[in-house]
Amino acid sequence: MSDRISLRNFSMVIALIAISAFFAFKQPVFLSARNLSLLSIELSVTAILALGMLIVLLPGHIDLSAGSGVGLTGAVAAVLVFDSRWPAPIALLVAVVMAIAVWAAMGALIVRQRIPAFIITLGGLLVFKGLHWLVIRNQTIPVVEGGKENIYSLLTTYYLPPVVGVSLAVIVVGLMVWAKLNGRVRRQRFGFQVDDREILFLKLFVAAQGALLLVLIMHQYRGLPLAAVILGGVAYLIHVLTQHTPFGRYLYAVGGNEEAALISGVPIQRIVIGAFALMGVIVALGGFMQTAYSGASTSTVGSLMELDAVAACVIGGASLRGGRGTVPGVIFGALIMATLLNGLTLMAVSPEVKFIARGVVLALAVWVDVKLAGK
């Protein structure tokens, strides 16, 4: 299985390079600092929602209501800020609490009433879409009041100063080196296999070069976007949660073999409800960022984003059956989806073509997942 996954990952890298090269050839502006900065913001929104989808997919479930939830939570916060004149931080907090309660309730229905997640979240998709339109009254609700910037609107419009961006990149690289070396020492202590020093150095060198290059490119425009920093923080937290906590191990166990997990004493109901509650937090954050990026809450915010999230997870190696998936893989899958949509937008293709492209990518990703699972 590892060989197949390695081959699959290699083919995905080739696919990303080919997609990027095609768009760069058709639209040279694709590689401009401005467009890459905008691409990083679009990637952040897609990847954050995909990371939440990973948490739900690992125990073998799915959330088809995520896109509608993005629109609803963003709308609730926008209405509280613009119409009710609430302070932005309080409005965002209220929307987060609402999302946690709703998604935890869906998780409880799924595991306690034994209703398939597909059905519950499909119903949520319709309900949340309708509530979204009711909340905004089919109008356009800005995320700012009186034209004044607030923490809501700054989520996707604020850029870190150059000094802060470079310092943050150096800190991230330092922490990454420390984590890799510390992990290598611990694996050696228990007699596990580790990479050769030359391979480890090459991996760290490439990763460090990539981080610093990203910051330098961003500084050619306005600086490192706050959205990219938020994505980095969410990715780190989800990685730690899934790889270094009992909760994360239980997620993989439930998705790998639910019956064995139950016999082993894994609290399946609490794990699944916790996964959906965490998904609620991610949906709310994604809703705030997508709405802020759009500049206002409209009836189209969040439309079909759940499909992009699922596609990003499957492209990145997560299984729809549960028990498999990693944070780096999901981010890579989200990068492919974001690059595809960004390039199509630059080429000014019609919405119909965009829908077709997203559908083809999703179908291919699921086909590859089925082929891998069947061998």
pLDDT for residue 199: 82
- Could you tell me if 248 and 309 lie in one domain? yes
pLDDT for residue 369: 65
- Could you tell me if 282 and 340 lie in one domain? yes
| Angle at CA of residue 15, ends 28 and 214, nearest 5° | 55
What is the number of structural domains in the chain? 2
Give the residue numbers spanning the domain of 193.
162-222
Q: How many CB atoms are closer than 10 A to CB 175?
A: 11
How far is the C-alpha of 218 from the C-alpha of 159, rounded, in Å? 9
Domain boundary among 222, 255, 270: 222
CATH of the domain at 345: 1.10.3470
pLDDT for residue 3: 39
pLDDT for residue 173: 87
Half-sphere exposure of 336 (CA within 13 A, CB side): 31
Residue 278 burial by Cβ neighbours in a 10 Å radius (0-12, 13-18, 19+)? buried
Rounding to the nearest 10 degrees, give the CA dihedral for residues 112, 116, 117, 120: -80
Q: Are 55 and 320 in contact (CB under 8 A)?
A: no
Domain boundary among 222, 243, 271: 222
The type of residue at 206 is V
- Could you tell me if 272 and 188 lie in one domain? no
- Could you tell me if 181 and 213 lie in one domain? yes
pLDDT for residue 350: 87
This prediction has a pTM of 0.91
- Could you tell me if 125 and 42 lie in one domain? yes
The type of residue at 100 is I
The residues of the chain scoring below 50 in pLDDT are 1-5
How far is the C-alpha of 270 from the C-alpha of 108, rounded, in Å? 9
The type of residue at 143 is V
Q: Are 69 and 130 in contact (CB under 8 A)?
A: no
- Could you tell me if 199 and 115 lie in one domain? no
- Could you tell me if 37 and 68 lie in one domain? yes
- Could you tell me if 137 and 277 lie in one domain? yes
Domain boundary among 198, 222, 246: 222
Residue 31 tokens read as 């590689």
Q: Which CA distances in Å does 360 have to 7, 10, 13, 155, 320? A: 21, 20, 18, 31, 17
- Could you tell me if 184 and 242 lie in one domain? no
- Could you tell me if 70 and 205 lie in one domain? no
- Could you tell me if 146 and 170 lie in one domain? no
- Could you tell me if 21 and 103 lie in one domain? yes
